[in-house]
Amino acid sequence: MSKPATDMRLLRAAEGFTEVVARGNAYIITKNPMTGKCAYDGQVGGGWHYNGDQETDTAWQTGTAPWNYQMVKAQYNLFALSNLANGQVLKWLDSSSGHSVTFQPMALQWTNALDQIQQR
């Protein structure tokens, strides 16, 4: 589920709850205009919205140099390289504080489970 708020809103709309009454970081309240009833959908730990009203999307996107992939539509930013052979291959950034963690494996060894190709 890469867009939890969107997915939940569409699910509730199919049930008749088409009017968004309120939304927060970890919840969304929708109303059925025909019955007047409301539905509250929430999750523990937050993450449905970031920057107030923008919906979280954790799908990988094409990155900007030097990163091949990025995930920047959440309360954190994540950047990754497609080549895991050396260097800084993954960076997690807390956009609110500016603090980051960068992973730089020196002797990473892996095996592809699909066809057993190994890193050399």
Of 88, 54, 59, the closest CA to residue 71 belongs to 59
Maximum mean pLDDT: which of 42-46, 57-61, 105-109: 57-61
| Residue 39: how many other CB atoms lie within 10 Å | 16
- 3-state class (DSSP) for residue 46: coil
Euclidean distance between CA atoms 32 and 40, whole angstroms? 12
pLDDT band at 87 (very low <50, low <70, confident <90, very high): confident
Tell me the average pLDDT of the chain: 80
Of 117, 118, 115, 46, the closest CA to residue 75 belongs to 46
> What pLDDT is stored for residue 95 in this prediction?
79
Residue 51 sits at φ, ψ, to 5 deg, of 50, 35
> What pLDDT is stored for residue 110 in this prediction?
66
Of 23, 65, 64, the closest CA to residue 47 belongs to 23
Instruction: Check pLDDT > 60 for residue 120.
Output: no
Instruction: Check pLDDT > 70 for residue 107.
Output: no
SS3 of 69-102:
EEECECCCEEEECCCCCCCCCEEEECCCCCCEEE
> What pLDDT is stored for residue 59 in this prediction?
83
Euclidean distance between CA atoms 18 and 92, whole angstroms? 36
Claim: this prediction has a pTM higher than 0.75: no
